[in-house]
Amino acid sequence: MKNITLLLACCCFVASLNFNSVMAAPSKYVNQTAEPTPSAKASSAALSKQRKNDLLHLVKQDCGSCHGMTLKGGLGPALLPADLVNKPEYFLTITILEGRPGTAMPPWKDILSEQEAQWIAEQLLQGLDHEQN
């Protein structure tokens, strides 16, 4: 009998712990969704200098074959900062990763990680010269 009381007490204790963590959860989620940007920025800072140089090379050579070596446009549209005004970084990142079905813009997700595509989108918005200097 004594054992059962002890067992019940334990159950209540465990149950109350769970209850507390469930109650605490909503505020955790609110905090996470409120600030998605700092972690995204931190992750793009994690690319090595070498990888960034490789990516810039890829943008000039591979992307440049359609968008022009200086990104002023060709088969694909110009990708200079002035042309991308009002286009969110996220939208450009998705375009790079997934391509544009039905157009010549191919998907790059086999070659580029999401983080790398995001970094390229960031560079396009700022202008490539910005990074090279």
Site for ligand HEC, residues 88 to 107, rule: CB under 6 A: 92, 95-96, 100, 103-106
Q: Which two tokens stand for residue 108?
A: 């790059």
Q: Which residue, 9 or 129, has its beta carbon nearer to ligand HEC?
A: 129
Q: Coil, strand or helix: which one is 87?
A: coil
Q: Which burial class, exposed, middle or buried, applies to 63 when counting CB atoms under 10 A from its CB (0-12, 13-18, 19+)?
A: buried
Give yes or no for residue 55 binding ligand HEC (CB under 6 A).
no
Site for ligand HEC, residues 13 to 52, rule: CB under 6 A: none
| CA 11 from centre of chain | 43
Q: Contact residues for ligand HEC (CB under 6 A)?
A: 58-59, 62-63, 65-67, 75-77, 79, 87, 92, 95-96, 100, 103-106, 108, 120
